[in-house]
C-alpha cells in the first residue's frame, strides 16, 4: 500500500537549541512556532516492497539521510518489511528553511498510515520529534508550542496547538540569502553548543520566560511584544552558537544587511521583526497588510517569498 502525506515547515518564534536527551531527541527548552503556507514536503511511503529505497527530490539517497529515514520507520515497526519512500520539497532542502520539520512530520503521517496504524496528532508529534525536534511542531498548522516535557521517555514532549491558522493575519517573509546546504547541521551544532558555549546555561535558564511572553503576545495579537520576544530569543540563540567552540556562525553579510533593514523599516513605522535559524536566511514577521511593501525593500538586497500561516499536516 502506498500512502502520501503533505506537511508544511514551521519557523520558530521562540527557538529550540539544545537537547536534554539525545536518544529520544528531547529538548532542553520549550519553543513556539508558526507553520508556513505554500512551502511543503510531499512524502509517499510504500510499505512492503523488495528493498528499502529513499528518493529525495528525484535522487536516490544512499548515505546518512537514507539511514535516518529507515531508522525512523523502524520506530513505527521494528519488524517492518522493506519500504520505498519518495519525498519532494518545493523549497531548498537543508538551508535553514526548516526542511527537516516538514520532512519528518510528513514521514510520520505517511509512514504510520502505510503501516496500517492510526495515530492521534499527539502521538504523531511524539514520533516526528524523534526524527527531528522541530518536526514535532509541523503536525499542526497555525501556531504551536513544543513543551520540553519532564518524562524520561519523552511522552510529554510534543507539540500543542496554541492558535489556529486563522487566528491572526500576519506574514513571514523568507529572505533567501543562500539556498546552499548549511555548513553545520542543527543536530551537531546544538550538541557542540551544550558542551562548549559559556552562554549555554543562561540560554536554557531564560528560555521559559521567552516562551511565556511570546505566547501571551501571540494570544493578544500584539506584534510588537511578540516580535521583541522573537528577536531576543533569536539573538540569544545565535550568541550561544557564536560562542561555541569552534564558533558556529550562520550569518552572512547579507543577513546583517537584512537585520539592519528590518530595524530601519521599524523606524519608518513598519511593524516588522526578524528571526534566523541554523542558516543565513532571514525571516521577517509582519502584519499581512505591510508584507508587500516590506518585500519590495527586501528585494533590493535579495529574493524573498511572502508566506502566511499554514495548515496541519494531512494525508492526500
Ligand atoms: C535553529 O529540529 O533541525 O531551527 O532535532 O537535531 O533534528 P534536530 O534539530 P532541528 O533544529 C531546529 C533548530 C532551529 C530552531 C527551531 O526550529 O526551533
What is the DSSP secondary-structure string of 254-289?
HHHHHHHHHHHHHHTT---EEEE-SSS-EEEEEEGG
Owner of C-alpha cell 529505497: 53
Is 99 found in the same domain as 174? no
Is 225 found in the same domain as 281? yes
User: Which CATH number belongs to the domain containing residue 190 in this structure?
Assistant: 3.30.70.890
Question: Does residue 314 fall inside a structural domain?
Answer: no
Nearest-CA residue for atom 12 of ligand 1: 134
Question: Does residue 187 fall inside a structural domain?
Answer: yes
Dihedral sign (CA 274, 275, 276, 281): negative
Is 258 found in the same domain as 186? yes
Last residue of a domain, one of 131, 166, 201: 166
Last residue of a domain, one of 133, 166, 199: 166
Mean pLDDT on 75-96: 87
Does 92 have pLDDT greater than 80? no
* Per-residue cell: 254: 547579507
pLDDT tens digits for range 100-110: 999 999 999 99
Question: Does residue 212 fall inside a structural domain?
Answer: yes
Is 225 found in the same domain as 161? no
Question: Does residue 144 fall inside a structural domain?
Answer: yes
For residue 105, give its domain range.
2-166
Ligand 1 center from residue 250 Cα (angstroms): 14
Is 143 found in the same domain as 230? no
pLDDT tens digits for range 36-72: 999 999 999 999 999 999 999 999 998 888 999 999 9
Ligand 1 center from residue 186 Cα (angstroms): 6
Last residue of a domain, one of 106, 134, 166: 166
* Domains held by the chain: number: 2
Question: Does residue 316 fall inside a structural domain?
Answer: no
Q: Choose the residue to mutate in 71, 278, 279, 280 for probing ligand 1, maximizing ligand atoms within 8 Å of C-beta.
A: 278
Is 149 found in the same domain as 236? no
In the beta sheet, which residues pair with residue 282?
A: 175, 276
Does 95 have pLDDT greater than 70? no
* Per-residue cell: 84: 520505498
Predicted TM-score of the model (pTM): 0.96
Nearest-CA residue for atom 7 of ligand 1: 132
Is 258 found in the same domain as 130? no
Q: Choose the residue to mutate in 134, 148, 181, 185 for probing ligand 1, maximizing ligand atoms within 8 Å of C-beta.
A: 134
pLDDT tens digits for range 157-186: 999 999 999 999 999 999 999 877 767 889
Amino acid at each position: 500500500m502506498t500512502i502520501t502525506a503533505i506537511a508544511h515547515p514551521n519557523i520558530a518564534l521562540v527557538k529550540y537549541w539544545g537537547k536534554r536527551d539525545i536518544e529520544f531527541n528531547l529538548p532542553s527548552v520549550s519553543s513556539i512556532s508558526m507553520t508556513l503556507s505554500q512551502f511543503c514536503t510531499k512524502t509517499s511511503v510504500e510499505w512492503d516492497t523488495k528493498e528499502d529505497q529513499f528518493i529525495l527530490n528525484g535522487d536516490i539517497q544512499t548515505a546518512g539521510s537514507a539511514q535516518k529515514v529507515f531508522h525512523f520507520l523502524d520506530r513505527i515497526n521494528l519488524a517492518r518489511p522493506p519500504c520505498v519512500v519518495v519525498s519532494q520539497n518545493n523549497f531548498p532542502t537543508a538551508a535553514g528553511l526548516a526542511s527537516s520539520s516538514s520532512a519528518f512530520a510528513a514521514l510520520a503521517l505517511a509512514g504510520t498510515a502505510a503501516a496500517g496504524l492510526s495515530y492521534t496528532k499527539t502521538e504523531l508529534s511524539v514520533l516526528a520529534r524523534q526524527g527531528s525536534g522541530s518536526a514535532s511542531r509541523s503536525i499542526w498548522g497555525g501556531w504551536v508550542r513544543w513543551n520540553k516535557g519532564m518524562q524520561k521517555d519523552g511522552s510529554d514532549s510534543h507539540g500543542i496547538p496554541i492558535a489556529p491558522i486563522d487566528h491572526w493575519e500576519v506574514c513571514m517573509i523568507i529572505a533567501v540569502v543562500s539556498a546552499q546546504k548549511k555548513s553545520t547541521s542543527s543536530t551537531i551544532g546544538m550538541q557542540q553548543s551544550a558542551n562548549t558555549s559559556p552562554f549555554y546555561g543562561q540560554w536554557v535558564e531564560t528560555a521559559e520566560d521567552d516562551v511565556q511572553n511570546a505566547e501571551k503576545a501571540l494570544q493578544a495579537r500584539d506584534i510588537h511584544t511578540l516580535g521583541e520576544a522573537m528577536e531576543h530569543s533569536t539573538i540569544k540563540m545565535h550568541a550561544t552558537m557564536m560562542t561555541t567552540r569552534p564558533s558556529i556562525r550562520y550569518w552572512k553579510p547579507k543577513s546583517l544587511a537584512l537585520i539592519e533593514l528590518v530595524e530601519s523599516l521599524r523606524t519608518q513605522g513598519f511593524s516588522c521583526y526578524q528571526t534566523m535559524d541554523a542558516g543565513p536566511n532571514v525571516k521577517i514577521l509582519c502584519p499581512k497588510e505591510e508584507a508587500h511593501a516590506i518585500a519590495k525593500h527586501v528585494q533590493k538586497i535579495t529574493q524573498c517569498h511572502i508566506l502566511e500561516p499554514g495548515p496541519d499536516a494531512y494525508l492526500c
